[in-house]
Structure 1
Amino acid sequence: MLRFLFRRDLTESNVSRFVRHFSLEANSVQKKQVPVSCNDSEDNSKVLIRFPSKFYQHSFDSFESMIAKEKSDAKSYILIEDKTNGKLDSIPKEALEKILDSSITQMYKYHLGSRGYCLVKLDDYENFADRNNKNFQHQSFPVYARMFSLLPNSLKLIKDELSTEPVVIPDLLRNRKCWLKFIHEKNNMDSNEFIDNLVNSVLLNEVEAKLRFFLINQFEELLCTGPFNRCQVYPFGSSVNGFGWNQSDIDLFLTPETLKSPKDNAYGLTSASSQNIAGDNNDTKRVLQMLHGIINEFVPAVKDVNAILMARVPIIKFDSIASGLNVDLSFFLDSRDSGIDIAHVLYEYSRLDVRVVKLMIFVKLWAMQQGITRSAPGVWINSFGLMMLVVHFLQVRSPPLLPPISHLNVIYDPYQASVTKQTNDLCYDYKTPFMTLLKEFFDHYARFEFENYGCNVSDGLLIKKPSSNSALYIQNPTHRYLNVSKNVQNTELAKLVLIARASHDIISRGDHVSSLLKPFSRKSINIGDLY
């Protein structure tokens, strides 16, 4: 027997909710499915090539198509929690179809520690929903959701169909930490093989990505009703930027649909609406306060719901029990303020060259292990700032691996610098081994003149710091007048430089790359130089 956790009535408008495609100019890099020649030369260094990738999120044609396809597919999924003491693991597809009385297109079984789940894609979700809209837990508030509990009496229907073969079900909690064993176990792999295994163990795979979009669809169906019925929920950050870790938080934002202005209506009619929203922090706080109550009271399988309204970007934080992940939900009147454009840029970069993915993932792990970045905000560089340092290095090295952000035509930028190099003036490097790139990265920032210069990732340029007030200057690619690393203090920047120098020395003497992911001693990096 299946039982709903909550209930909400389905309507045709909810099922066919508009999926927005983020617009790009026609000559955007993501539109190009073949190598793009910078000129008529046969020299491969003059060709900007996108290499085939084995990573799941790189299998889509574009950033927009990935989000649209995943959100569309998620409308056919349900999530089943095992309440049968582990018997769900042994239920084959045909037997589960008998329990659901529905044809299954795809299914993903997974564990979160002792809890078992199955993410199921149904061939006809609407028919299933019509037949199963009254099975609720006793005394629960009847709000419809796509999450079910599989109870022991369900097994009566299929008692002779349970699989007797050993079944290996992935434990997502264990998998999200398995990269640690590569560091601490005796390593017989060479450095390149180690990097490959490390990246594969960290990046989002298909089930992790599908689970995230299932939750996005669940939140959208539960939140985007009533006064929010013209809003949508979208992901940004690591869930969609092509560099996502399987243990990363789920970053979401709620935003209104793009609506026609009254002058576009031939009959001159407009709908009655509530008071105007200016889109400032006070409006954002009011919206999030309302959403906080809805999530806390009515959304199933969440806990520790907190509204953090005094932050620079107010958010609602909560834990998703069914995914074992933290969720941050924000509200933006204009989606361009959300970070979706930056996620788009990084996604395009992640698809250009697998070495970019390897370097980004390794540097993020290295910085986390060495205490350069931390999970909480503070006076140290954050994950986004670190990613911009990697991007800038790959833009300014000679020859570059990445084009300037302005060449991707993803971000509308009225301040685009006139001195930006044209694409046909750039030669790209497709030959340098990854370990050489890693060594160059450490050397680059061990020698970088942070006191005088900053990073312009929009144009791929080294620039003079506009002010000496900040230890580290990284120009914000979406708002050029902002410094994304304004919070970083001198001691934290000096720590980054010292650890980069020590890391360069370790690689130069031929030590295994895994040693860079073990925290350095204070003596090994001359930590006293910081004080």
Structure 2
Amino acid sequence: MRVNFTSFQSIFLSHAYIFENFDSLLTKRRCQAERSIVVEVPSVNSLDHVLHSCCAIGQVSSLFHYTTFNKYVNKHKEMLLVEFSEPISAREMMLYCPTSSSACLPVRSPFFQYHDQRTSPAPLRQSQSLSTDNLNRQEQVEKQKIFRENLLSDKDLKQSIFSCNSISEQMKLFYDKTKLTDLGSRLRFLTCRQVEVALAGPLPHLSALPFGSSVNGFGHCLSDLDMVMQLEHSELVRACPEWAESFVLQNASDTAFGQQRVSSTRFLELVADVLRSTSPGCTQIVKVLKARVPIVKYHQQLTGLDCDLSINNWSGLYMSELLYQYSALDARVAPLLFCLRLWAKEAQLTSQHPGRWITNFSITTLALYYLISLRILPPFELLKKHARPEDARVAENSLDCSYLRSLSRIAALHSPPKATRSLTLEDLLLGFFSFYDEFDFRKHGLTIIYGKTFIKPDSSAMYIQNPLDGSLNVSRNVTLEEVERFSMAVTRALHSLHQDAPQSVRLVSNSSPSVINPQSASRNIQSPVAEGKYFSELKLSSASKNSNRKSSKSNEHKRSLKISMKSRK
């Protein structure tokens, strides 16, 4: 039995109008971070006192309660994220609140501790304009807005997925329960805000922006945070008054900053020292300065995030924007990608460590190419062709990253065929495995720029063209052995979907045929421990629900997908 996804698919055409453009998303989240602080509280019983004190400072817009865990001291911390209605309230807290007695430097940041041990709430400041009655009424309203985010445990998630009627429902549920949440996004932008505040003295116009999974629409709730620092606003240069052209700021006398590569590494060394000395919660700071893109890695204990901080890595940000647009154009893209990434992880095709294996970005590009071949998504060439003057962007090394950045215009230019609108997530998952089960990686490469294959220009085992820089192969590190393992994993997953006894098929299982981990062959490396077998022992369909899918029907669907892709070519 298949679930009717007609109502779910009816929003596809208007989906782009619901989602906001990437720049608007960044602006909104950064404004939220400027109005927000994080308070460590002794216990959940202190929330009322903290709330009363915050309301005495300014009007509170929203509150989020969460818990972090410090594995080194085996201790949980109760945290409260407070968003004020105006940024002046957060700035006043950073300006007037005293520093800890153990602090060596009176450093200001958006992270606080609550130490009030009084049994009654703190009194109002004399400068507060709200009356006591109004404040009490506001408190009652704000108490109802405290949002407590509780992620499902592996056991609860398994049980929820077990009750689903189809693979499509399971994929959608897994995406909904593990995607990046509103609180997760707020904490990531507030972590970026901490970097801006720490460097605001010498660099008042510095911007720290998240990129990668934090903003591209494919973020997992446990994803790391990638950040890029912009030292100067281009808008500031364009808005420069005429009198300012007569003056130039003097530079530091260190001549080592003359070369761009040396300048970046020296600056990151300085940033690492600043974070270590002045930024609360920043621990395990490691400088990785000899990488192709130099970064500073650290862990932010107060937000529970592992962070990678770089400078002027704009191609990464613009690639994140492109992926965000693709995820926003069709509601099926992100759930499909979540399932494929889980499949690749459980089959040990990907790893959190760099090396010879396929990356999540390669899996993402393979999925996007498949969806472009079905004309569900537009090729990148269409976005490049219709770029407007306001869409112009230039990344490092003068790389042109100009493409259409209006979701409403993209939706107007590209309309998916009617036949593809009725395809469920299960159909797309089956189609992905069918497509790459027959793809000849030895001979052909692929590109989402044109949505076509081409003869590989070199001997790379897998060739996936970088859409922003066509001269690069995003999978150049992948070895022939890993490509063969990918092909075998695809064949095993396809066999699981095609077998005659669907009631025995499971999405992930160590003891029976499954889509996610169908008796995958291990490789001779130390694989990271999986973060829970979310779909372990979960049946995709059951005999009691009479959910029979015949092999002939699967083969018929496979043939229809082939016809659609051939017509595209």
Shared topology, TM-score over 0.5?
A: yes
- Taking the TM superposition and a 5 Å limit, the aligned residue runs for 1:415-494 are 427=417, 429-468=420-459, 470-494=460-484
Answering whether residue 401 of structure 2 is matched by residue 401 of structure 1, we say: no
Per-residue displacement from partner, 1:221-250 (whole Å, max 9, x unpaired)?
Answer: 112431x33421111101111111111111
Q: What SS does the aligned partner of 1:288 have?
A: helix
Residue number in structure 1 paired with 2:96: 133
Pairwise CA distance, 1:65: 0.3
Q: What SS does the aligned partner of 1:305 have?
A: strand
Per-residue displacement from partner, 1:69-118 (whole Å, max 9, x unpaired)?
Answer: 110121111111112x33135x28863545x5432111111122421111
CA distance in 1, matches of 2:510, 2:228: 35
Q: State whether residues 179 and 201 of structure 1, in contact with CA within 8 Å, keep that contact through their aligned partners in structure 2.
A: no
Per-residue displacement from partner, 1:192-231 (whole Å, max 9, x unpaired)?
Answer: 22222210111112111112112211221112431x3342
Per-residue displacement from partner, 1:406-440 (whole Å, max 9, x unpaired)?
Answer: 32246778799xxxxx9679746212121011011
Residue number in structure 2 paired with 1:252: 227
Residue number in structure 1 paired with 2:45: 87
Q: State whether residues 475 and 482 of structure 1, in contact with CA within 8 Å, keep that contact through their aligned partners in structure 2.
A: yes
Q: State whether residues 234 and 254 of structure 1, in contact with CA within 8 Å, keep that contact through their aligned partners in structure 2.
A: yes
Residue number in structure 2 paired with 1:349: 326
1:68 pairs, out of 27, 47, 55, with: 27
**Count of equivalent residues:** 462
Q: What SS does the aligned partner of 2:273 have?
A: helix
1:237 pairs, out of 206, 212, 219, with: 212
- The TM-score normalised by the length of structure 1 is 0.77
Q: What SS does the aligned partner of 1:118 have?
A: strand
Residue number in structure 2 paired with 1:367: 344
- The TM-score normalised by the length of structure 2 is 0.72
Letter in 2 for 1:102: G
Pairwise CA distance, 1:499: 0.7
Q: State whether residues 179 and 198 of structure 1, in contact with CA within 8 Å, keep that contact through their aligned partners in structure 2.
A: no
Distance 1:519 1:407, change over 3 A: farther
1:292 pairs, out of 272, 288, 291, with: 272
2:506 pairs, out of 491, 515, 528, with: 515
Answering whether residue 292 of structure 2 is matched by residue 312 of structure 1, we say: yes
Residue number in structure 2 paired with 1:15: none
Q: State whether residues 36 and 82 of structure 2, in contact with CA within 8 Å, keep that contact through their aligned partners in structure 1.
A: yes
Residue number in structure 2 paired with 1:121: 83
Distance 1:529 1:70, change over 3 A: closer
Q: State whether residues 461 and 483 of structure 2, in contact with CA within 8 Å, keep that contact through their aligned partners in structure 1.
A: yes
Q: What SS does the aligned partner of 1:151 have?
A: coil
- Taking the TM superposition and a 5 Å limit, the aligned residue runs for 1:170-319 are 170=148, 175=151, 178=153, 182-183=157-158, 187-190=162-165, 191-226=167-202, 228-257=203-232, 258=234, 260=237, 265=242, 268-274=245-251, 280-319=260-299
Residue identity over aligned pairs, in percent, reads 23
CA distance in 1, matches of 2:314, 2:204: 20
Residue number in structure 2 paired with 1:111: 67
CA distance in 2, matches of 1:448, 1:121: 50
Letter in 1 for 2:432: F
Over the residues paired in the alignment, what is the CA RMSD in angstroms? 3.9
CA distance in 2, matches of 1:481, 1:233: 29
Moved more, 106-115 or 279-288: 279-288
CA distance in 2, matches of 1:119, 1:499: 43
Pairwise CA distance, 1:493: 1.3
Q: State whether residues 358 and 475 of structure 2, in contact with CA within 8 Å, keep that contact through their aligned partners in structure 1.
A: yes
CA distance in 1, matches of 2:341, 2:322: 18
Q: What SS does the aligned partner of 1:157 have?
A: coil
Residue number in structure 2 paired with 1:21: none
Q: What SS does the aligned partner of 1:79 have?
A: strand
Q: What SS does the aligned partner of 1:304 have?
A: strand
Pairwise CA distance, 1:330: 0.3
Letter in 2 for 1:485: S
Q: What 5-or-longer segments of structure 2 have no aligned partner?
A: 1-8, 70-75, 124-135, 385-390, 403-411, 525-569
CA distance in 2, matches of 1:152, 1:295: 28
Q: What 5-or-longer segments of structure 1 have no aligned partner?
A: 1-44, 417-421
Residue number in structure 2 paired with 1:7: none
Pairwise CA distance, 1:184: 7.9
CA distance in 1, matches of 2:15, 2:504: 26
